[in-house]
Amino acid sequence: MSPAIPAELSSSLAYYSAHFMDRVVWELPVRWVCNQHGLDCQLIEAGLPGTYPTFIVRTALNQSVVIKFFGPLYDGYQACQLEHSMGNFLAGHTLPVRSPLILAAGQLDTQWSYLVFEGIPGTSIGQARGRLAEHAWVNVASLLGVFMRALHDLTADCPGALSTLRDSDDRGNFAAFLRTQKERCLANHRKWNDLPSHLLEQVGDYLLPVDQLVELASPPHLIHADLTADHLLGRVIERSGSATDPAGGDWENLAVIDWGDVRFGNILYELVALQVDMFRGNTRLLKICLEAYGLPGFYQHEFPRKALSMLLLHQFPMPAWVYAGQTSNHSLDELAEHLFGTVD
């Protein structure tokens, strides 16, 4: 019998927030999963805090696996199904940056599922940010453009990829999702209290119609939808003579992780996490990325406004820095140029 999970982890957001990465709470479930799948559990370490409990298990010979648990909160059941399906799909295809293989899957009980991934040696690029040379970021930006193009083209050519998403008005019908987000946009930003008042009052007139944000004539494709700095794994390669230069390292990409937010979408929605989190608003890196991607003409026209419209329509609030200090920007057009002014 699997060990009991505290009931509050399935019902209380406050308790979940306090304990979802608590190694003491999760040690018995982690060891039970390892025993179920013949894994030699030598050491348990908490992974990077995200949405779901994630733990790194060190096994014999200094190898590792990652165990990720999904419960009732935060649509865990759907996220687990999507990660499992996407993992199986990607295992049969080649992208410029690979993703970890899924080694096992199962249930702890009727409410909690888990996935076991191969461990990827290295760190997230977010953790290594301060150690990388500028040219390393240029290379990352270019590769991510190539990666996104390959992913988008692959899934447009494989209509069976995550076919269950097509039955969802949210993740499966992107235009319908955006129309819903547009209806909720002002209410969302009032609830989040993120936009300065003088910009909030411009939102209704600023947002472009959905048919100017989505190229409806193109085949639908999948997007990762959460390309943050926590989700690109790799390792820093110290350059000769850079021991005294903490920002002088190169970067080797090893894996893109966390496909739990995968959905049908387009490059504009894909760019939100990338520009806001991965690139921290660096428009030079964004331009390099888009050149490698080969941004279609449909999106080049009024690109900054289209990109900011998509950011404003996003289902999640942005980090505080995105809007903080924007009192000097008198219009959303100015904010769009500040964040996305890269395409002539």
For residue range 208-251, list pLDDT tens digits in order.
999 999 998 888 899 999 999 999 999 999 876 555 555 578 99
| Secondary structure (3-state) at 169 | coil
For residue range 165-201, list pLDDT tens digits in order.
655 556 668 999 999 999 999 999 999 999 989 999 9
Please report the pLDDT score of residue 96 as a whole number: 97
- The rounded mean pLDDT for the chain is 91
How many Å separate Cα 31 from the centre of its chain? 28
Task: Say how far apart CA 99 and CA 151 lie, in whole Å.
Answer: 12
pTM of the model: 0.92
Instruction: List, in order of start, the domains of the chain with CATH numbers.
Output: 7-118 (3.30.200.20), 123-340 (3.90.1200.10)
User: In 3D, which of 102, 99, 98 has the Cα closest to residue 117?
Assistant: 102
How many Å separate Cα 287 from the centre of its chain? 20
Please report the pLDDT score of residue 119 as a whole number: 96
Please report the pLDDT score of residue 34 as a whole number: 96
Please report the pLDDT score of residue 2 as a whole number: 87
- Where are the strands (E) in the chain, listed by range? 43-46, 54-58, 64-70, 102-107, 113-118, 123-124, 221-223, 232-237, 250-256, 263-265
| Low-confidence stretches of the chain (pLDDT beneath 70) | 159-172, 240-247, 325-327, 343-344
List beta partners, residue 234.
123, 253
